[in-house]
Structure 1
């Protein structure tokens, strides 16, 4: 069972690698109603055109959650409207299936939701002793000056993108001094405030179970947030990860309950630092030395029987 969109290239890549004998079903909150279904007593029965899908604690189903709904499914939706009520009901039904029908998830829905919170990520890294930038959230600019060095970065605590009059905007990591007048805006919206890490290399680390792969991007001539440079997405090269990064990435993924994770690390003169964990992040923009084994590992896990 794959929760995602058939049009997502990551879902398509995994489907292409699944064993021919594997029965696979791709579903999300927007497509659940496309076929007749019955959910009763933790058993979901769906009559698809080519097959009858059964998901229950007795079926030994394995699953991977990529996306609960298509990216634009809730765009422009008015809070407390009929549309909002209907779509919330579909999400409630889908998440009930994810929680109650006995599927063995690579990453469960509750772990996925918790791990998306950057403060939970940071607290987990601190507890494990994995280096991460000094971090705080405050509405008091004076607290920033007292707790963080002169050079700070601000990151969104909530979604890093939004739409305004149908125009998309992305909030990238922003560098500023700790006495910047813009810090007054912290009174309006909570942001992560972190000490700046001067990276020599940006590392993208992908974990599947107990396996780990990495790719590197030279930080020279790149913006502070490499995502702001389109060419950076095509400039990563396969890398042998430092032992502390590989071990730290696997430890964080395990502590967060993530069977899959895509992590951002920074390699600086003073060491390696975990910056971000994406529990359902992309990997296909990385070099083939990473994308091929990651895709194969996901497909192999889905194809294998219950543990």
Structure 2
């Protein structure tokens, strides 16, 4: 005998056609859960996540908010890229956004990677690349904001891009300067987001530099490593609508 699976109906409050289908499902003895979208509380709306994920727009917003941003060039012109990289002396490149790209079934992720002018060839013409002056950092800082709560974690490693090897990272709770904290909250307000994971770099003089924002970034392992109440902040956000 085939198991009857429950059906989720997502619709508006007044939807006559949905009512008719639900009535028929009830007649057939099918369990139905009806979910209306009338004024729901979103953590981050999917369309706002997609809009906020574009790195050039993030960089422009960060500069307007007074956050330090490394000199950056987005181009698919090899000559322009070479000139920029030579001028910086020490530069990196990275993708404009994450993509679900796979090679022979294996996920391929682009890390922040050092680049010299001599390495730039005509393949740059295929798609825009993001070139950036390298920040000579003392440490990385991952900042999670959930509603009104800020959680900052210092990540120490020898890696240019710490995501390449989690086994060689050490963590410590960081306190952001008020100016930086307020700027990050203002960034989320401008993007109409209630949460986000920011990647910052701290240089040897103690200056904080913007690297990027992941509007739907992972944070679970940071709570495990530091004991910070990140999940509690999200629970409160969802229960009480404690947005900003």
**TM value normalised by structure 1:** 0.65
- Does residue 168 (structure 1) correspond to residue 121 (structure 2)? The answer is no
Q: Is 1:129 matched with 2:61?
A: no
Partner residue, 1:224: 160
Query: Residues 77-114 of structure 1, C-alpha deviation per residue, up to 9 Å, x if partnerless?
Result: xxxxxxxxxxxxxxxxxxxxxxxxx3232322222111
2:139 match: 201
Alignment of 1:84-233 (within 5 A): 102-148=39-85, 149-159=88-98, 162-177=101-116, 179-219=117-157, 222-232=158-168
Q: CA RMSD in A?
A: 3.0
Between the aligned partners of 1:257 and 1:105, the Cα distance in structure 2 is: 11
- Structure 1's 306 and 283: CA in aligned 2 closer, same or farther, altered over 3 A? closer
Q: Which runs of 5 or more structure 1 residues have no equivalent in the other structure?
A: 1-32, 58-101
What secondary structure does 2:188 align onto?
A: helix
What is the TM-score with the length of structure 2 in the denominator?
0.80
Partners in 1 of 2:128 and 2:6 — Cα distance?
A: 39
Which ranges of structure 2 fall in alignment gaps of 5 or more residues? none
C-alpha separation in 2, matches of 1:264 and 1:306: 24
Mapped contact 2:53–2:215 kept (Cα < 8 A): yes
- The number of residue pairs the alignment matches comes to 227
Asked whether the 8 Å contact 1:265–1:276 carries over to 2, the reply is yes
Instruction: Say if 2:213 is the partner of 1:277.
Output: yes
CA offset digits 1:48-67 (Å, max 9, x no partner): x887343242xxxxxxxxxx
Q: In 2 relative to 1, CA 160–37 (structure 1 residues): closer, same or farther, beyond 3 Å? A: closer
Q: Within 2, Cα distance between the matches of 1:304 and 1:261? A: 19
CA 1:237–1:299 in 2, change beyond 3 Å: closer, same or farther? same
* Deviation larger for 269-278 or 199-208: 269-278
